[in-house]
Amino acid sequence: MPFRFSREAYECRVAWYTQARFGMFLHWGLYAIPARGEWVRSVERIPSEVYDRYMREFNPKDCDMRRWMAAAKGAGARYAVLTAKHHDGFCLFDSAYTDFKSTNSPAGRDFVREFVEAAREFDIRVGLYFSLIDWHHPDFPHCGDRNRPMRGDAGFSDEGRDFGRYLDFMHAQVRELCSNYGKLDILWFDFSYDGLRGEAWRGTELMKMVRALQPDVVVNNRLEVSGEGLGSLAACAPTPYHGDFVTPEQIAPLDGLCDAQGTPLVWESCITMNNHWGYCAGDHFYKPAPMLIRKLVECVSKGGNLLLNVGPDAQGRFPKESFEALNRIGEWLGENGESVYGCGPSGLPKPEYGRFTRNGDRLYVHIFENTLGPLPLFGLDREDIVAVRRLADGSEVPISTSWVHSGYPDIVFADLGPDPVLPDLTDTVLEVRLRSGAPTN
C-alpha cells in the first residue's frame, strides 16, 4: 500500500514536543575513558583491538541515573535523550545481537533501562539516540566510508563484507529498543550522509517496524539527512521515513524554519555546552549559563526547541561546569518558565533589546539589555494591552506617559522605573496580557 502522510496524526504526535521546548542530550559511552570526545576513534583512527580494550575497564561506579534525571528536572528540561549506541558501536543496553555492550563490561549494567526508569520517575519524557553507523560491526564499510576509523588503510578491505547483513543487525537492535523498554517518546537517529540515506538504511521497512511498536514516538529527520539538512517533510513530499522534526546542530536557525509551502516546521537545535558532545577532559570552553538561557529563548522565539548536551565523565559524573550551568538555567526557568514552555513566535518584529515569545493572549517580553528611557513595546497598540507585569514576581509595570517618547506617538512604552540596572541581568521578562483577538503583527 502506498504511503499516505496524515497531517492530523502527525500534529497529534508532536503536540507535547512543541510544548516542552527544552530537553537534555546525554552523550556517554566508552569514549568517556580516553576523554577526547565521542569521535575519538574516527579522528585518531584507532583500530578495534586498541579501542575495544576500553570496554574491559568500563565501570562507572558514580553513575546514578536518578541523579542525572534529578539534575535534568532541576534544570527545567522536559525530556532527555540518551545515547543508547553511538558510532563506536558500544551499546549501553543489553542487546542480544552483540557482545560489545555495557552488560559485558565490568559494570554489568543495562544503563538504558536505568535511564528509562529514572526518567519516568522524574516525569521526564524518554528519548533514545541510536547511531545508524557502527564502526565496530564487521559488515559496516571499512574503506570507502569517509568516517570509518580505518578508512584508506591498505590493510583493510571491504571484500566479503555484507551491508545487507549489517542492516539486519541494525534493524534488530532498533526493534530491541522499541520492544524492551516500554513507551518511548523520542527516537533520535544519527545520521545520513553521502550514499547512506533513506532507503539505503531500508528506511521504509525500519519506520514501519518503529511505528508498529511505538506508534506515538516522535522521530527526528536523520534517516534522510544530517544536521544541516531538512528532509522530505520540509520539501512537502514526505517519505515513509520522514522526520517529525528537523535537527539543526550547533546553530540556531537564522529565522524560524518553514516547509516549501511556508508552513512552520517543528525543529530542535542540539548544542553542546563546550565544544564536544562526549566528555573531553581538556575542553573547558563552556558557554556561560546566561548565554544558554538566551539561546533557549531565541529558539522558542523562532518556533523551535533547544536540546542541550551534557557529556558525563568516565565515572558517570556530570562535569562541574555543566552542573553549575544547569542549576542556573533551572533557577531562571523556575521564575520565568511560562515564557518558554508552550510558547512560540510572537508574530511581532524582534526588539533590539531582546526577544518576544507568545502563548495565546500572553506576550512575553525578554529584555537582555535595558534601553535609554522607557521600553518600547514594538508592534502593540495601547488598546490591545490589558496589563503588564514582571513575570518573576507579578509586580505591575505601568505604561509610560513620559514626554521623552512624545516623538513616537504610535509606539507604546513600558515604564521600568528609575533604576537603569535590570532586575535580572540575564533576561528580565515582562508578561503582557493582551485582549482576546489582539493581532500578532
pLDDT tens readout for residues 240-291 = 999 999 999 999 999 999 999 999 999 999 999 999 999 999 999 999 999 9
What would the pLDDT profile of 357-385 be if each residue is shown by its tens digit? Answer: 999 999 999 999 999 999 999 999 999 99
The rounded distance, in Å, linking the Cα atoms of 55 and 53 is 5
Q: Is the pLDDT of residue 441 over 80?
A: no
Q: How many CA atoms lie within 13 A of 390 on its CB side?
A: 16
Q: What is the residue type of 121?
A: E
The three grid cell numbers given for residue 79, joined into one nine-digit string: 525530556
> In whole numbers, what is the pLDDT of the chain averaged over residues?
96
Mean pLDDT of 110-133: 98
Provide the greatest CA pair distance for the chain.
82
Decide: 218 and 187 in contact? Cβ < 8 Å: yes
Nearest by Cα to 388 from 379, 397, 378: 397
Q: What is the residue type of 230?
A: L
Per-residue pLDDT band for 141 (boundaries 50, 70, 90) equals confident
Give the Å distances, CA to CA, from 213 to 124, 183, 207: 21, 9, 10
**What is the phi/psi pair of residue 355, to 5°?**
-145, 160
**What is the phi/psi pair of residue 206, to 5°?**
-60, -50
Grid look-up 563484507 returns 161
Task: Please report the pLDDT score of residue 154 as a whole number.
Answer: 74
Nearest by Cα to 48 from 111, 98, 107: 98
SS3 193: strand
Mean pLDDT of 304-315: 98
Give the Å distances, CA to CA, from 253 to 68, 202, 218, 277, 305: 29, 30, 21, 20, 11
Show the domains of the chain with their CATH numbers: 7-339 (3.20.20.80), 354-434 (2.60.40.1180)
The rounded distance, in Å, linking the Cα atoms of 76 and 233 is 30
Burial class (CB in 10 A: 0-12, 13-18, 19+), 155: exposed
Helix boundaries (H) for 267-319: 289-301
Nearest by Cα to 336 from 365, 307, 314, 316: 365
Grid look-up 562541574 returns 320
Q: Is the pLDDT of residue 156 over 90?
A: no
The rounded distance, in Å, linking the Cα atoms of 415 and 88 is 56
Question: Degrees (nearest 5) of the Cα angle 192, 196, 201?
Answer: 90
Edge-to-edge strands, sheet with 354-359: 354-359, 362-367, 428-434, 385-390
Give the Å distances, CA to CA, from 316 to 26, 33, 62, 368: 11, 10, 5, 35
Task: Please report the pLDDT score of residue 440 as a whole number.
Answer: 61
The rounded distance, in Å, linking the Cα atoms of 396 and 390 is 6
Decide: 350 and 357 in contact? Cβ < 8 Å: no
Decide: 156 and 164 in contact? Cβ < 8 Å: no
CA 263 to chain centre: 21
The residues with which 2 forms a beta bridge, in sequence order, are none
The rounded distance, in Å, linking the Cα atoms of 244 and 192 is 16
The three grid cell numbers given for residue 190, joined into one nine-digit string: 544519527
Per-residue pLDDT band for 160 (boundaries 50, 70, 90) equals confident
Task: Please report the pLDDT score of residue 302 as a whole number.
Answer: 98
Per-residue pLDDT band for 151 (boundaries 50, 70, 90) equals confident
Cis previous bond, 90, omega within 30: no
The three grid cell numbers given for residue 272, joined into one nine-digit string: 553542546
**Residue 178 CB contacts under 8 Å (≥ 6 apart), including other chains:** 184, 187, 209, 210, 213, 214, 217
What is the percentage of the chain residues whose pLDDT exceeds 70?
99
Element (H, E) at 346: none
**What is the phi/psi pair of residue 271, to 5°?**
-140, 155
Mean pLDDT of 109-128: 98
Per-residue pLDDT band for 152 (boundaries 50, 70, 90) equals confident
